[in-house]
Amino acid sequence: MSTNGHSKQVLLEIKGLKMYFPIFRGILQRKVADVKAVDGLDFQVYQGETLGLVGESGCGKSTTGRAILQLYRPTAGVVHFQGTNLTTVKGEDLRRMRRQMQMIFQDPYASLNPRMTVGSIISEPLEVHNIGTRPERLERVRELLRVVGLNPYFINRYPHEFSGGQRQRIGVARALAVNPSFIVCDEPISALDVSIQAQIINLLEDLQEQFGLTYLFIAHDLSVVRHISDRIAVMYLGKIVELADRDELYQNPMHPYAQALLSAVPIPDPVVEEKRKRIILEGDVPTPVNPPKGCHFCTRCPKVMEICHDNEPEFRDYGAGHFVACWLYQK
Amino acid sequence: MGRLLDVKGLETRFFTQDGVVHAVNGISYTLDEGETLAIVGESGCGKSVGVMSLLRLIPQPPGKITSGEVWFGANSDRKNLLRIGDDEIRQVRGNRIAMIFQDPMTSLNPVLTIGFQVSEALMLHMGLDKAAAKKRTIDLLEMVGIPRAADRLDDYPHQFSGGMRQRVMIAMGLSCNPQLLIADEPTTALDVTIQAQITELVKRLQHEIGMAIIWITHDLGVVAGLAQRVVVMYAGFIVEEAPVKELYGNPRHPYTLGLLGSLPRLDEHRARRLTSIEGLPPDLIDLPKGCPFYARCRYRIEQCETENPGLEPVGPGHRIACWVDIGSAEPGFADGGRGRLQ
């Protein structure tokens, strides 16, 4: 919420990002095809903003987050973070860069080691990066627990002693430990109950304000993404089809997929629901091994034209940072 | 429309090594023919166990339906499902009451063909022979929108996508023209565009077949466009029941109010801070003596700690279990409740 209207400083610039996973078959384990999880992304993340990344399962949003942090080495493209191209950085240099970039994971049950105490989970990144002495680290862990709203007294407990919401707070504390400037939040609330979701969303918003964090917020729930993001990118089958300011995207979605997605989200108000008209998409998402030629959405698009089947539309700015990749608007 | 289902004081417990889990604690509600009722609540609130108990699908032991009555059927053949014999309940399950489950990946048998699984119920309950069952299976699959249904009878579940599998589940559910369809979080595992497909499908089919639906969900968004009445559950109790517009327009229980406040809305215009409900639901083994929501409630008064309020009417079709009238009480103070109900 802090960047609106101010001069924007680019923190992260992504150009032509591709992430293919090879498929091997047969006795010789020859490469037969690729899963094109992420198939050419261009976007920027500004300092201090929250960029929401939405899409349905399998559209490549989590892969994008991981490829940005170099947890996967991208097949192609560049990721500029504060002026450094991360795709060419290796070893110790990359590890040092990682102090700036952290991640919060979806599943608070699987992402914490059950054999480690909360204290050692949160101090692990400090040890890895050689920050502080033992007593300093301990003090830092206590402080972090307070920051995320947990009692420092819990420091010697194990993850199974906590509820899902509390575990997610531990995950947040671990991400904050090394004072990062950029955090990838990969569906941080989708495993939680509604009343707990709100607690975590509020916490993430408070921390952003307090520490000037930049978030890439990955989620499939458009209502949550609209709530927390400054700008939103909509992904479909490995591509960003639309990127705009959150209010602009909501009021004026241009891509037929974004329109359908927005219309499909239920609104918790029966009076509003009565009057809404849904765009029901036919069929399912095609496989990313063999995405359709031309526009990836052409097999399900209600406004499909001939050109969509043959040529891929360009991802273009239609004013005020509203990017769309659709032939409807390209003459 | 006649009364179809009348649940009275249903109570289900699980006797475990750690203690007795009070999963469902004396819930009562009714359902008319052709009506859609939504049961809403967070994980562990007893919404699934509550409806599984209707069909006596609780694993026993450790589970046990400890008291209550479940009257099902139109006037002439009303029966208490908890008292009839095993053969009789088998005639009700899948036949007059059908169920669809949350996870379409695990509720289909992976080693049997789609065609076999759908036609099984038809032969069992409707007494159709193989050829007739096959024909009806194709009709059903077409009805739920599976393209080229006749060619796909010999396919296995893994060859279907998640949305398609849920369509198959619905086809199975509807195969015997049930009077009541119980849908237990049927769209939770699906993407939002597929969720929209499935809810539209169920609405259309209800219109065509005229069955009643109990839709269990944690998603207040889905409920808004689907149900006529809503029951909100918390820690095994019904805390509020109201017609859908009344519930969203005039929520009277602090928990319902908290749930609605903690939902981000797609159509909200300004960034607003979500009003989260602090704390956690109570332990079902060790329920508090008073109101189960006491520890998290912003409107609580002294009485709430010691006495659990019963479900009392506050308007037409609107019942709540709360000692405080939140319309006139101030939130945030431990003893801030002024006007009380009753």
Evaluate if residue B338 carries a pLDDT over 60: no
Average pLDDT across chain B, whole number: 85
The C-alpha atoms of residue A87 and residue A94 are separated, in whole angstroms, by 9
Q: pTM (2 decimals)?
A: 0.85
How far is CA A99 from each of CA A7, A179, A206, A213, B328, rounded to the nearest angstrom?
26, 7, 21, 13, 51
Evaluate if residue B31 carries a pLDDT over 60: yes
Contacts of residue A52 in chain B, CB cutoff 8 Å? none
Query: A91 vs chain B: nearest CA distance in angstroms?
Result: 38
> Is any Cβ of chain A less than 8 angstroms from the Cβ of B257?
no
> Is any Cβ of chain B less than 8 angstroms from the Cβ of A199?
yes
Are B196 and A278 an interchain contact pair (Cβ–Cβ within 8 Å)? yes
Highest mean pLDDT: which range of A105-109, B25-29, B173-177: B25-29
State pLDDT tens for residues A197-250.
Answer: 888 999 999 999 999 999 999 998 888 999 999 999 999 999 999 999 999 999
Percent over 70 (pLDDT), chain B: 94
More confident residue, A192 or A255: A255
| pLDDT for res B59 | 87
Task: Report CA torsion sign: B81, B84, B89, B91.
Answer: negative
3-state secondary structure of A278: coil
| pLDDT for res A124 | 94
Average pLDDT across chain A, whole number: 90
pLDDT grade, residue B167 (50/70/90)? confident
Mean pLDDT computed over B55-76:
87
> Is any Cβ of chain B less than 8 angstroms from the Cβ of A7?
no
Query: B252 vs chain A: nearest CA distance in angstroms?
Result: 16
- Mutation target to probe the A interface, by most A beta carbons within 10 A, among B269, B274, B296 is B274
Contacts of residue B46 in chain A, CB cutoff 8 Å? none
Contacts of residue B164 in chain A, CB cutoff 8 Å? 284
pLDDT grade, residue B329 (50/70/90)? low
Instruction: Go through chain A and tell me how many residues it has.
Output: 331
| pLDDT for res A190 | 84
> Is any Cβ of chain B less than 8 angstroms from the Cβ of A206?
no
Contacts of residue A227 in chain B, CB cutoff 8 Å? 264-265, 268, 271, 274
| pLDDT for res B340 | 31
Contacts of residue B161 in chain A, CB cutoff 8 Å? 284
- Mutation target to probe the B interface, by most B beta carbons within 10 A, among A57, A163, A195 is A195
The C-alpha atoms of residue B230 and residue B246 are separated, in whole angstroms, by 9
Are A272 and B249 an interchain contact pair (Cβ–Cβ within 8 Å)? no
Contact B39, B47 (CB under 8 A): yes
Are A194 and B193 an interchain contact pair (Cβ–Cβ within 8 Å)? no
Are B280 and A269 an interchain contact pair (Cβ–Cβ within 8 Å)? no
Evaluate if residue B334 carries a pLDDT over 50: no
State pLDDT tens for residues A132-181.
Answer: 899 999 999 999 999 998 889 889 999 988 888 889 999 999 999 999 99
Smallest CA–CA distance from B160 into chain A, residue: A284
Evaluate if residue B335 carries a pLDDT over 60: no
Percent over 90 (pLDDT), chain B: 28
Contact B194, B203 (CB under 8 A): no
More confident residue, B156 or B336: B156
| pLDDT for res B333 | 42
Q: What residues 275-314 of chain B have any CB closer than 8 A to a CB of chain A?
A: 275-278, 280
| pLDDT for res B336 | 36
Contacts of residue A196 in chain B, CB cutoff 8 Å? 276, 280
Contacts of residue B38 in chain A, CB cutoff 8 Å? none
State pLDDT tens for residues B188-230.
Answer: 777 888 888 888 888 888 888 889 999 999 888 889 888 999 9
Query: A231 vs chain B: nearest CA distance in angstroms?
Result: 13
| pLDDT for res A76 | 93
Percent over 70 (pLDDT), chain A: 98
Query: B6 vs chain A: nearest CA distance in angstroms?
Result: 26
| pLDDT for res A2 | 43
Are A266 and B221 an interchain contact pair (Cβ–Cβ within 8 Å)? yes
> Is any Cβ of chain B less than 8 angstroms from the Cβ of A196?
yes
> Is any Cβ of chain B less than 8 angstroms from the Cβ of A237?
no
State pLDDT tens for residues B300-328.
Answer: 888 888 888 988 998 888 999 999 888 76
Are A271 and B248 an interchain contact pair (Cβ–Cβ within 8 Å)? yes
Evaluate if residue A318 carries a pLDDT over 80: yes
Burial class (CB in 10 A: 0-12, 13-18, 19+), A1: middle
Instruction: Report, in this order, helix, strand and coil percent for chain A, each rounded to 5.
Output: 35, 25, 40
Contact B171, B117 (CB under 8 A): no
Contacts of residue B297 in chain A, CB cutoff 8 Å? none
Smallest CA–CA distance from B227 into chain A, residue: A270
> Is any Cβ of chain A less than 8 angstroms from the Cβ of B270?
no
The count of CB pairs under 8 A between chains A and B is 133
Are B265 and A268 an interchain contact pair (Cβ–Cβ within 8 Å)? yes
Contacts of residue B163 in chain A, CB cutoff 8 Å? 284
> Is any Cβ of chain A less than 8 angstroms from the Cβ of B38?
no
Are A261 and B220 an interchain contact pair (Cβ–Cβ within 8 Å)? no
| pLDDT for res B7 | 93
